[in-house]
């Protein structure tokens, strides 16, 4: 007797498409991750996924894959994780090649989240005689592109606050020592978060204490097998390291710091206030991009080294970025930054912080769909207690630091009553060797 071969279901094909879509993690922004599978005669004849922004979409990749394997996609069924696009962007609409290929049926997971386009691709395909169904594994397909779905509607990035702490909620000792609170597996998970983020944000105190590089390392991309963070010739993918955003009201970032001098310095933005000393701002502008942001609750005419912005609705005009005119040598810096010769300063942070809402709107207008906040306790509190964060990723190590002066993962003034405490939903716990990972959405 021979075992009965299991017949694949529509759900199986959609799960395959989801797996293909995930291969674009960290590479497709500001486009969504999408996967597609072509099925004909009970078998898969083509597979595809969106490799990078500006490249062919998943549906086109699947059609080309089928044809390259000698299969005719006519009368095939297309399983795709997201509604096919029907508008011109960097690439032509996908609906036209689907119709021309003679595909008879399209099974989609999620509808287009863009309110201007939602459902239009389906209607166009139906008007051409194709059978269309959607909603298969809809939650998984929508969850795949949580950041894109938020950005395309609100035009601000999805904000995730990440912190690694001890069981008593401490991120560093009173002296500032904080390295390797969690184990290797937790650090690898955190590195993968960076890989998927468009930008990483931290505060000036973290730069002064740790001199971080805020890059991801040791990852492999799925773009033609090339190493992530390296230009892929002809692919349109250039340096997929995330942008680095430093909140630095008084322009105190040392000119020798890694975010200013390393090979990714062109991807650094220092956000200062209108009160920052002009000499310090000018010195930073010679090496990195500087944004002058309004103070919280105030409206200012502000200027950056790339855009001139007036208010939150100001017009933007391109200005040549000084970083394009200079070489960025690799840093030979030694730790800690406090030991570097830097003129002593009596400058204090302004009484009102930088307008984070203005910053989020600015980043959103620059196609930043996801922002990973890796600040200290004060920065974390600003986003969490300010109602600007959407998700938290907290790592807990089986350690206790104690100490009234030890640094907390979430500081700030806190809430005045327990009824004002932040509530989390979609809470998930996961063990990473000896550490625990909490992921959740803010209600």
Angle 267-272-274 from CA coordinates, rounded to 5°: 145
Strands of 243-397, DSSP E: 243-247, 268-272, 289-292, 301-303, 308-310, 370-373, 391-397
Cβ atoms of 50 and 21 within 8 Å: the answer is yes
The CA angle 98-100-105, to the nearest 5 degrees, is: 45
Please report which helix (H) or strand (E) contains residue 206, including its range: helix 204-210
Measure the CA–CA gap between 259 and 246, rounded to whole angstroms. Answer: 9
Backbone region of residue 112 per phi and psi (left: phi > 0; alpha: psi in -120 to 50; beta: other values): beta
Whether the CB-CB separation of 187 and 178 falls below 8 Å is answered with: no
CB-based burial label for 17 (10 Å; 0-12, 13-18, 19+): buried
Q: Which residues are catalytic?
A: 59
3-state secondary structure 259-288: HHHCCCHHHEEEEECCCCCHHHHHHHHCCC
Partners of residue 441 on adjacent β-strands = 391, 425
C-alpha–C-alpha distance, residues 165 and 435, integer Å: 10
């Amino acid at each position: 007797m021979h075992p009965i071969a299991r017949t694949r279901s529509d759900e199986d094909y959609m799960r395959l498409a989801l797996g293909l879509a995930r291969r674009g993690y960290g590479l497709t922004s500001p486009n969504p991750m999408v996967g597609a599978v072509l099925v004909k005669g009970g078998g898969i004849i083509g597979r595809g996924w969106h490799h990078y922004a500006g490249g062919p979409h998943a549906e086109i990749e699947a059609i080309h894959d089928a044809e390259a394997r000698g299969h005719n996609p006519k009368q095939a069924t297309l399983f795709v994780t997201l509604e096919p696009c029907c508008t011109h962007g960097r690439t032509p609409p996908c609906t036209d090649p689907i119709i021309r290929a003679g595909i008879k049926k399209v099974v989609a997971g999620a509808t287009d989240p863009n309110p201007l386009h939602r459902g239009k691709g389906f209607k166009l395909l139906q008007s051409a005689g194709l059978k269309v169904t959607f909603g298969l594994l809809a939650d998984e397909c929508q969850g795949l592109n949580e950041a894109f779905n938020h950005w395309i509607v609100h035009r601000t990035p999805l904000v995730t606050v990440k912190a690694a702490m001890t069981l008593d909620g401490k991120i560093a000792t009173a002296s500032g020592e904080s390295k390797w609170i969690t184990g290797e597996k937790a650090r690898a998970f955190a590195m993968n978060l960076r890989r998927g983020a468009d930008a990483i944000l931290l505060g000036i105190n973290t730069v002064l204490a740790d001199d971080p590089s805020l890059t991801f390392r040791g990852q492999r991309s799925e773009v033609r097998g090339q190493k992530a963070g390296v230009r892929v010739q002809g692919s349109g993918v250039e340096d997929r390291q995330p942008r680095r955003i430093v909140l630095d009201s008084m322009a105190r970032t040392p000119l020798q710091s890694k975010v200013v001098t390393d090979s990714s310095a062109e991807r650094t933005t220092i956000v200062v206030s209108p009160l920052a000393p002009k000499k310090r701002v000018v010195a930073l502008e010679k090496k990195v991009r500087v944004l002058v942001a309004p103070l919280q609750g105030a409206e200012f005419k502000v200027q950056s080294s790339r855009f001139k912005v007036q208010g939150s609705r100001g017009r933007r005009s391109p200005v040549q970025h000084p970083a394009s005119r200079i070489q960025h040598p690799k840093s030979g810096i030694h730790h800690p930054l406090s030991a570097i010769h830097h003129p002593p300063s009596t400058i204090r942070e302004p009484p009102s912080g930088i307008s984070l809402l203005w910053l989020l709107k600015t980043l959103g207008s620059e196609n930043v769909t996801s922002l990973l906040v890796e600040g200290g306790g004060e920065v974390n509190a600003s986003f969490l207690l300010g109602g600007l964060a959407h998700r938290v990723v907290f790592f807990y190590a089986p350690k206790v630091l104690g100490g009234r002066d030890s640094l907390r993962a979430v500081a700030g003034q806190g809430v005045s009553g327990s009824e004002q405490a932040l509530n989390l939903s979609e809470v998930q716990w996961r063990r990473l060797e000896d550490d625990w990972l909490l992921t959740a959405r803010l209600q």
